[in-house]
Amino acid sequence: MTYPDSLLRRTLGERRIALVAWRLLVLQVAHPAVAAGMSDWSTYRAHPWRRVQHTMDSGRRLFFADLDSLRREVARLDRAHRRIHGTDASGRAYSAEEPEVRVWVLVTLYEALTALRQLSGRPFTPAELDALYREFRATVAEFGLPDELWPPTAGDVPGYVERTIRERLEDGPEVRHLLYGILREAPRPGRLGRLGPAWPVLRALTASTVATLTVADLPPAFRERFGIRRGRRAAALSWAVHRGARHVMTRLPDRWRYRVPPGADGPAAARAPRHRRAHARARARDTRPARLDAFFRQVLDQTGDGRIGVADLRAMAHNVCWPLELSAEREGEVHAAFDTWWRQMSATMDADGDGRVTRAEFVAATLAGVGRDPEYLTKGLHVAVRAMFRAADADGGGHLCADEYRALFGGTRVDPAELNDGFRELDVDGDGRITEEEFVRAFTDYFTGVGDSVPGARMFGRA
């Protein structure tokens, strides 16, 4: 594979960029507006791997695609950030649309590239820094942020970063959680495979190593301001990891050294394991409580706190819209549909009136609702499901093909073979497409079917 002839793409595309990824996140989240937005709106605590995947997908669209894809991604990010605003724990108003905040988040990405090279013992030359910054600014110019907010040249970036650290950043709970907490409680990655049982041990080792490396790699001004000590062990680890990675990775063939750019046919799809379809016989016992319980934990509870509220439903709407090319109007329709679903849940499930629905409340109220009212699901769930279908129906043809179905439920999180099985189960008439009514019926059967073999049981694949 010939990698794109761009210093920015070559540097950002190297697999070892992952070594400074956590450092980048800490610098971004130390900005109080970013921290507040993550605290109030993000589901990264409960779903860190999904959040990382979204970030990687967005980066590919911004820096490794054509101009049209770049502009679509900028528009997508603009729509997503438009919803993120509020008041933080100190009573300060914040908004993800604030230009100064967006410039900081973007500049830290450029700074991470330069830090990677500096830490590896082979820093960019002044001429390379100028070229890298020109390419970076040409790309991010599509965000339309004021020129006066940006460091004018590559040589001005270190001063800008240090001033921002000393004048704007804060060492709040979100920063400390990123450094010392989130990886220690992260759920098992969906594709850990045979190493799954070893995840508790791997998690502890990973958390300790990432925290130590990140502390060692943070800018001196950051450590100095917030009293974070860089011990000898951390310094030695940083030296060994970064220099070792450089010596190894720069000697590998491009196909191993770099991530596959978007649009290329990666080997993963060709090697996707085939999943044998298992059709269990329907059992006499009522399996709905267990199924609803799983739906609550795996789908509804986006924040992972054991309760659902309006923030969880809005996060679901966001995740539906994220992989799809939607206009602002169509995104608004999806969010409005999920708001309708939440209002119904709040009215019929919130037994104690605290504005949240527990797992027990959800299961009990759903079973009672479908038992007494044949139209119960049409007043909430079906509204959201129909909005999902229409959002995924890219050509407006009134049906979903397999690609549209995979875009809605899959992305890179779920094995394509398993999604194909789910698609075939929903395609009850076998015509190679799913109509809106087949789609809604699958959700209805999932919520109401007594046995184990309901058609919608595997509509999401196996995450």
pLDDT for the residue 119: 96
pLDDT tens track for 412-424? 555 555 666 677 7
In the beta sheet, which residues pair with residue 6? none
Task: Provide the β-strand partners of residue 369.
Answer: none
3-state secondary structure (DSSP) of residue 110: helix
Q: How confident is the model at residue 268 (pLDDT cuts 50, 70, 90)?
A: very low
- pLDDT score at 234: 94
Long-range (24+ apart) CB contacts under 8 A made by 159-163 are 160/107, 161/107, 161/108, 161/111, 161/219, 161/221, 162/219, 162/221
Comparison of pLDDT for 342 and 414, the residue scoring more: 342
- Short-list 355, 358, 341, CA closest to 301: 358
Other C-beta atoms within 10 Å of 399: how many? 19
**Residue-wise burial string across 238-248, b where 16 or more C-beta atoms lie within 10 A, e elsewhere:** beebbeebbee
pLDDT of 111 > 60? The answer is yes
Q: CA 303, CA 397: separation in Å to the nearest integer?
A: 34
In total, the chain counts a number of residues equal to 463
- Please state the rounded mean pLDDT for residues 384-404: 87
Q: What is the pLDDT of residue 441?
A: 85
pLDDT band with cut points at 50, 70 and 90 for residue 156: very high
Is the pLDDT assigned to residue 294 strictly greater than 70?
A: yes
Segment 35-63 mean pLDDT: 78
Confidence of residue 452 (pLDDT cuts 50, 70, 90): low
Across the chain, mean pLDDT equals 83
pLDDT of residue 3: 38
Mean pLDDT across the stretch 332-354?
91
Q: Given this model, what pLDDT does residue 283 score?
A: 41
Residue 89 dihedral angles phi and psi, to the nearest 5°: -65, -20
Which residue from 30, 38, 27 is spatially nearest to 107, judged by alpha carbons? 27
pLDDT in tens, 84-95: 899 988 899 999
Name the least confident of 62-76, 187-201, 272-286, 379-393.
272-286
Residue 264 scores a pLDDT above 50: no
Q: What is the DSSP letter of 410?
A: T
Average pLDDT over residues 335-340: 94
Q: What is the pLDDT of residues 77-86, one digit of tens each?
A: 888 888 889 9
Nearest to 35 by CA among 124, 82, 104, 134: 104
C-alpha–C-alpha distance, residues 113 and 116, integer Å: 5
pLDDT above 50 for 269 = no
Alpha carbon distance 318, 387 (integer Å): 12
Cα gap 47→56, rounded to integer Å: 15
Q: Given this model, what pLDDT does residue 458 score?
A: 53
Looking at the predicted structure, is the pLDDT value of residue 201 above 70?
yes
